[in-house]
Amino acid sequence: MQLLTYILAYPLLWLISILPYRLFYGFSDVLFFILYYVIGYRKKVVRANLKLTMPEKSNKELDQIQRDFYRHLCDLFLEMVKTMDLSKEDVKKRYQIQNIEVIQEIEKEKSILIVCSHYANWEWNVSMNNYVRSKGFAVYQKIGNIYFDRMIKKFRSKWNTTPIEQKETVKTVIRNEKQDVTGIYGMVSDQSPMVNKGQYWSSFMGVKVPVFNGAEVLARKLDLAVVFLKVSKIKRGYYRADFIPITKNGKSTKEHEITEQFLKLAEQQIKERPEHYLWTHRRWKHRDKAPVN
């Protein structure tokens, strides 16, 4: 069944990926109408998340944010598909990196953990490896369909990047450090861990939730640098990436310092343009299970 699903879906995805941009985003508009007005995909989840994290907004403001989010979500999904046909020249034009020298200077001395959130277009983040000399690694969660998983890994490997499963991250980083291999590791760090695996709870968008602190644990143990990747949507199909150093020396930081700084930067990014965050995931689902101090 997995193979059949892949065989049926792949030609359609490929056809979408080669569409001229005017038709490509026209198709996104059609997809938005179907997803938002016909199917109503996860609208209750999105609205609940918006109301929970932005109680100061009026219903009219939340309506606008919600509609703009779904338009962006459709663009984002199709831009992930577009990666199949995206050339190095095109991605450099559409994903503009402002201060890659931040990374280029740090990588001369040590490995770097690049942390970001589900914001704007994180799929094209791997293109930053076109500008660095170190080996790039993209941490991801394995897809259930093995054929689509292979396809995604192939696309993410286009620009000097090696995809690694989340569970393999610690082992990969430690092995590379022992072999003196300077690596740049990209992590989307705003997921919601299971409660029994939530070793640390903190406030995110004003709500206490369990948070992943894997980047901090690795940075403090191996003295790695940590950099926040802020991606902004300039206009439809165009993004800007800015690197904000959190620490150049992980061992010198206090416990939870890296995690808290990441959360602060992610919050600031979301509040600037909330419609570009991934509101469909249940990021705050464990909020009522916080341990009592």
Within a domain: 84 = yes
Tally of domains in the chain: 1
- E strands, 141-270, are 161-165, 183-188, 200-204, 207-211, 225-235, 238-247
Within a domain: 292 = no
Could you give the CA distance from residue 282 to residue 48 in angstroms, rounded to a whole number? 10
81-103 pLDDT, tens per residue?
A: 999 999 989 999 999 999 999 99
What single letter denotes the amino acid at residue 75? D
pLDDT surpasses 60 at 44: yes
Pure H helices in 83-181: 88-94, 101-106, 146-156, 169-178
**Phi, psi (rounded to 5 degrees) for 19:** -65, 140
Within a domain: 293 = no
Residue range of the domain that includes 115: 2-287
Report the pLDDT value the prediction gives residue 152, as an integer from 0 to 100. Answer: 83
Could you give the CA distance from residue 243 to residue 98 in angstroms, rounded to a whole number? 8
Could you give the CA distance from residue 188 to residue 211 in angstroms, rounded to a whole number? 12
Assign 63 to helix, strand or coil: helix
100-128 pLDDT, tens per residue?
A: 999 999 999 999 999 999 999 998 998 99
195-220 pLDDT, tens per residue?
A: 665 578 999 999 999 998 889 999 99
Instruction: List Cα–Cα distances, 84 to 31, 92, 151, 233, in angstroms.
Output: 19, 15, 9, 21
